[in-house]
Amino acid sequence: MTTPAEFYETHRELLDKAIEAAGARDYWSAYPESPSKSIYGETAAADGEQAFKALLGKDFPVEVPGATTHVATERSPYGIELGIRYPKGEPGELIAAARAALPGWRAVGPHGRAGIAAEILRRINARIFEMAHAVQHTSGQAFVMAFQAGGAHAQDRALEAIAVALAESTRIPGTTTWSKPQRGGDPLRLEKTSTVVGRGVSLMIGCNTFPTWNGYPGLFASLVTGNPVIVKPHPGAVLPLAITVQIAREVLAEAGQDPNVVTLAVEEPGESIAATLATHRDVRIVDFTGSSEFGNWLEANARQAVVYTEKAGLNTVIVDSTDDYKAMLRNLAFSLSLYSGQMCTTPQNLLVPAGGIETDAGHRSPDEFAADLGAAVGKLLGDPKRAAGTLGAIVNDGVLARLAEAGSLPSVVHASTEVADEQFPGATIRTPLIARLDAADEKAYTREWFGPISFVITTESTEHSLRLFTETVRDHGALTASVYSTSDEVLAAAREAALDAGVHLSQNLLGGVFVNQTAAFSDLHGTAANPAATASLSDSAFVTGRFFTLQSRHHLSEQSHA
Amino acid sequence: MTTPAEFYETHRELLDKAIEAAGARDYWSAYPESPSKSIYGETAAADGEQAFKALLGKDFPVEVPGATTHVATERSPYGIELGIRYPKGEPGELIAAARAALPGWRAVGPHGRAGIAAEILRRINARIFEMAHAVQHTSGQAFVMAFQAGGAHAQDRALEAIAVALAESTRIPGTTTWSKPQRGGDPLRLEKTSTVVGRGVSLMIGCNTFPTWNGYPGLFASLVTGNPVIVKPHPGAVLPLAITVQIAREVLAEAGQDPNVVTLAVEEPGESIAATLATHRDVRIVDFTGSSEFGNWLEANARQAVVYTEKAGLNTVIVDSTDDYKAMLRNLAFSLSLYSGQMCTTPQNLLVPAGGIETDAGHRSPDEFAADLGAAVGKLLGDPKRAAGTLGAIVNDGVLARLAEAGSLPSVVHASTEVADEQFPGATIRTPLIARLDAADEKAYTREWFGPISFVITTESTEHSLRLFTETVRDHGALTASVYSTSDEVLAAAREAALDAGVHLSQNLLGGVFVNQTAAFSDLHGTAANPAATASLSDSAFVTGRFFTLQSRHHLSEQSHA
């Protein structure tokens, strides 16, 4: 056994650094994003692949309270057979087990809980290659992206949440002495104790595309602030979170804690256990990433809980002018292509003034810009092998159906095509579709088309673009926005418009940074200031609603006066 | 004109100290609680009284957007004529004015806003004697209590909220540089800007008993985090908040800001403008202190806003044993008597085991304890002049009606009586009523009897008392709890029960500290962990939901590399 305090001591330096980095918000990362042998070891890649393959077609080894049956619901976007069966418990039993684990978890205190959380992360990182395969074959992310976004970056986001949660839950000291001077007498003296108490049972509802990256912040923030967590993965992406739960329970048991502090909740498709769990009176925190439809439903119906959602919106690019047209097109083409646009951060609406844009390569009309962007996508994805590595695979049939629907739009300027994968002949891979629209076509572009579908939209002017941007994002939300302009006035107006719209803004991205990527410990993800999300990963507001500080006080006796 | 930055510089030392104190949570106070000449000056008392008297029977001088009529709704619990008329605006105009003030207020930034807030407080403190009269003649608090709770302590609570809001809204630096190393190339470098953006128009709904103490935290927390605030006082206690709004608008104008950042919203009784304002789509923050009924209604209906409520509950005392029976009785008697029990923190339910309690004065049965407590109240209030100074006056007819209802309970052991006041013959003053109940009488004691009404309730045992305590507080809420015991086991069990119930606990208070008093910068008020409140004054959670942090980022050019 290792006590929680010992785990804290083991990871104290890392946690201190993480708290410092989350405050400084310059560049910092704890988990290397390169799948290199020099970092992870000679055999790590082969071992991880073998560990992943050993899981296929079997009962997944994790204990679930009250489970009597197993379910297998996953399908690899790369076409391989998975057939992993997960034990399935009833919602009532999962909640009862979590409630039973609550008092013990409260007694551990913030530091011990952060120590255990950091140890869980250490072991997740040690299995990063296995995790990358798990993420690849559930989300459809290409392997290197799965390693980075689903592995190292998800771990960084988790550590960031742990750091913010530990910092916020320890701002009020555990014990203080209060001594109030009295005129002509001894001071009034009290000893006061503050205890962090979790809000209650926490539910994390995972998504299909980024099960770890989007799921970890809520999971770890709830854990550190004293809440047992029921992890409910998307039926299409169970494995990455099942591995996570397995590791968490292993560490909890080693620390002498009830492993039911973290449990796995799986279901057959259509059982809607997320809704059942989220509206249960004893579930007090809900974290959700996924569709606006279900996210809005949760916000309206899970009234007994605080609900942190990350949904969808109209990610917008305002194109005004540029002094590096080629670099702009390359940057945008990559943003549209990465993981086939299946990121909640992929740009959908590109606003271009009818009068065209000024560039270092001359004036471009909206049609010319759309054609150039299509060509840039074509060039980026010209080599099938490189294309497959950028695009990944299509996560599910919903995306394919939207792609077919978009294909019937009147003005497609870059059609989506199939790409073959050498390694996985059964993979479903598609290039991005780009269509032309007008500002008047708001019925089409004020809807979110999740997947590799984007629109070049003609506006009256850049001023009109900015107004359209603010209005549509205010009404429908967005997780990202970017602007291209050589004019300081336009950039200033865009910053003000982004503040009004309530969205983060990237300006003139031309190099190796893309609007759809955010870095833990520096960029916040989501703002909570527009309808696309009620949470921001990971600011103070993301953690402070998860716990209460309860005080007790008593007179200080004279003997402890010294 | 004094710029916001200059106000910040003026108050920087105070704000720094306040932030430090809010973190350390030992004894600290910025505003002296003693109405002494040596502190506030030779003529302060007389000047303040004169200033108060000059307001009576007149139109109160404050500008309200769109006001065309005046209303006068206050009645002094001390029986003097007030007749102050306040300008009345329409809800729609108040909200429009607040919205118009929003972008300018956002642009000031957290430090400038905190500087302005601190200057507002400085001027409120300079008018503390006038404010004390205003609080006395609206809430019914006796003058010294009005000076302290409505003056100095309210100002301390305000400064605490300012400090927590400033600290939380500046955790993420305004500008950072992000530099990510690249293998075999220059690092990726971005400059990132973070801007604090308020959630939107904020509404503060004041209460009749503590218009400033309970109202200031939400008002100042919202201001510092970038939100214009509409101040809607209770119709019975307008003046203390009208003075506050007047001062706020004066400072805002001097700082070159739109004074409509703070506006006053008054009404005729029964107009329900609080409900109208609170459910308006553009009102995004609601702070409320008052009845559970309206608080629960706001939580259920003001869905477009975050709602911070402080309502009512069953404040409980667990009496197990004591080694200083006299001091315990004296302490409890004062807690029941202070401001006629019209504090949201006054104990209502005193749980005593049927087998009685062990004390240094011998064994006492529940009936004997109840009789002794009644006698202690009688002794405390024996001298009418001192009684009036402790009791204050009855705030409104609702309290009198409850007192009459309680008087008809079968087992009153200490009846409520009238007390005359020398200075104000028209004052309505009453002593506390104490009745005996049994644990089975839950219909009577699980209801809140706001006012000078308390119950000595027989339980089977202290263990039963603790169970009853946890169950009733979990279901009905509480703002305070206390325990008297000489047993370490009982004290430990009480602390655990308080954590389960979600309430702060005072242990064995015998001297000059009372369960119904909390000190800013040390004690939190409310926990949000039970139904009595969704807020805790003032922890991080009280401020972090009031703003968002929005980022923008761009490549760092080589010339700024240095």
Cβ contacts (< 8 Å) between A182 and chain B: which residues? 512
What angle, rounded to 10 degrees, do the helices at B44-55 and B128-139 form?
50
3 state DSSP class of A522: coil
For residues B377 and B391, what is the distance between their CA atoms, to the nearest angstrom? 11
- If phi > 0 it is left, if psi is from -120 to 50 it is alpha, else beta; for residue B404 that is alpha
Count of helices and strands (H, E) across chain A: 19, 19
- Is A405's pLDDT higher than 80? yes
Give the pLDDT of residue B504.
98
To the nearest whole angstrom, how far is the Cα of B177 from the nearest Cα of chain A?
6
Give the pLDDT of residue A185.
86
Verify whether the Cβ–Cβ distance A536 to B548 is below 8 Å: yes
DSSP characters over B439-460: TT-HHHHTS---SSEEEEEEES
Verify whether the Cβ–Cβ distance B511 to A555 is below 8 Å: yes
Cβ contacts (< 8 Å) between B28 and chain A: which residues? none
SS (H, E, C) B504-560: CEEECCCCCCCCCCCCCCCCCECCCCCCCECCCECCCHHHHCCEEEEEEEEECCHHH
Give the pLDDT of residue B559.
42
A179, A194, A555 member nearest B510 (Cβ): A555
Domain positions in chain B: 4-311, 316-507
Percent helix, strand, coil in chain A, to 5, is 45, 20, 35
- Is A468's pLDDT higher than 60? yes
Domain B4-311 identical in fold to domain B316-507: no
Verify whether the Cβ–Cβ distance A519 to B172 is below 8 Å: no
Tokens of residue B500, six digits? 């389960």
Cβ contacts (< 8 Å) between B499 and chain A: which residues? 106, 195, 197, 550
3 state DSSP class of B206: coil
Cβ contacts (< 8 Å) between A502 and chain B: which residues? 197, 548, 550
Give the pLDDT of residue A562.
32
For residues B293 and A287, what is the distance between their CA atoms, to the nearest angstrom? 30
- Of B319, B330, B290, B326, whose CA–CA distance to B455 is shortest? B319
Verify whether the Cβ–Cβ distance B554 to A176 is below 8 Å: no
Tokens of residue A330, six digits? 């390359």
Verify whether the Cβ–Cβ distance B178 to A499 is below 8 Å: no
Give the pLDDT of residue B183.
85
Q: In 10 A of CB A400, how many CB atoms?
A: 15
Weakest-pLDDT range from A152-156, A383-387, B21-25: A383-387
Cα of B523 vs its chain's centroid, Å: 12
Verify whether the Cβ–Cβ distance B552 to A195 is below 8 Å: no
Residue of A nearest to B300 (CA): A303
Cβ atoms B266, B86 nearer than 8 A = yes
| Angle at the Cα of B458 from the Cα atoms of B456 and B461, rounded to 5 degrees | 130
Verify whether the Cβ–Cβ distance A507 to B551 is below 8 Å: no
One-letter amino acid for residue A335 of the chain = S
Verify whether the Cβ–Cβ distance A507 to B553 is below 8 Å: yes
Furthest-apart CA pair in chain B: how many Å? Answer: 88
Q: Which site among B175, B197, B551 would you substitute to test the A interface, given the most A Cβ atoms closer than 10 Å to its Cβ?
A: B551
Cβ atoms B101, B227 nearer than 8 A = no
Summarised one tens digit per residue, pLDDT across range A91-120 is 999 999 999 999 999 999 999 999 999 999
Verify whether the Cβ–Cβ distance A539 to B172 is below 8 Å: yes
SS (H, E, C) A17-62: HHHHHHHHCCCCCCCCCCCCHHHHCCCHHHHHHHHHHHHCCCECCC
Cβ atoms A140, A394 nearer than 8 A = yes
Cβ contacts (< 8 Å) between A334 and chain B: which residues? none
Verify whether the Cβ–Cβ distance A507 to B172 is below 8 Å: no
For the segment A16-20, the average pLDDT, to the nearest whole number, is 98
Identify which has the larger pLDDT, B562 or A3. Answer: A3
Report the topology of domain A4-312. Answer: Aldehyde Dehydrogenase; Chain A, domain 1 (3.40.605)
To the nearest whole angstrom, how far is the Cα of B182 from the nearest Cα of chain A?
10
> CB under 8 Å, gap of 24 or more: what pairs does A458-461 form?
A458/A352, A458/A353, A458/A354, A458/A366, A459/A351, A459/A352, A459/A353, A459/A354, A460/A353, A460/A354, A461/A353, A461/A354, A461/A355
For residues A213 and A124, what is the distance between their CA atoms, to the nearest angstrom? 13
Verify whether the Cβ–Cβ distance B26 to A510 is below 8 Å: no
Residue of A nearest to B107 (CA): A496
Give the pLDDT of residue B560.
41
- Is A546's pLDDT higher than 90? yes
Cβ pairs A/B, distance under 8 A: 185
Verify whether the Cβ–Cβ distance A544 to B549 is below 8 Å: no
CATH homologous superfamily of domain B4-311?
A: Aldehyde Dehydrogenase; Chain A, domain 1 (3.40.605.10)
For residues A493 and A462, what is the distance between their CA atoms, to the nearest angstrom? 10
Summarised one tens digit per residue, pLDDT across range A25-73 is 999 999 999 999 999 999 999 999 999 999 999 999 999 999 999 999 9
Model ipTM value: 0.96
Tokens of residue A21, six digits? 């980095």
- Is A559's pLDDT higher than 80? no
A197, A506, A553 member nearest B507 (Cβ): A553
For residues B222 and B217, what is the distance between their CA atoms, to the nearest angstrom? 8
Tokens of residue A14, six digits? 């890392």
For residues A424 and A305, what is the distance between their CA atoms, to the nearest angstrom? 43
* Consecutive H or E run containing B277: helix B273-278
Q: Looking at residue A422, what DSSP letter applies? A: S
Give CA separation, B76 vs B152, B215, B397, B426, B452, in Å. 22, 20, 12, 9, 19
Q: Looking at residue A171, what DSSP letter applies? A: S
For the segment A248-267, the average pLDDT, to the nearest whole number, is 98
For residues B544 and A387, what is the distance between their CA atoms, to the nearest angstrom? 43
Q: Which site among A482, A483, A550 would you substitute to test the B interface, given the most B Cβ atoms closer than 10 Å to its Cβ?
A: A550
Write down the architecture of domain B316-507 according to CATH: 3-Layer(aba) Sandwich (3.40)
Query: Judging by beta carbons within 10 Å of its beta carbon (0-12, 13-18, 19+), is residue A79 exposed, middle or buried?
Result: middle
Q: What are the per-10-residue average pLDDT scores of chain B (562 residues)?
A: 97 98 96 96 97 98 96 98 98 98 97 98 98 98 98 98 98 95 90 98 98 98 98 98 98 98 95 97 98 96 97 97 98 98 97 98 98 98 93 96 96 96 95 98 96 98 98 98 98 98 98 95 97 97 98 78 34
Summarised one tens digit per residue, pLDDT across range A331-342 is 999 999 999 999
Residue of A nearest to B172 (CA): A23
For residues B128 and B150, what is the distance between their CA atoms, to the nearest angstrom? 9
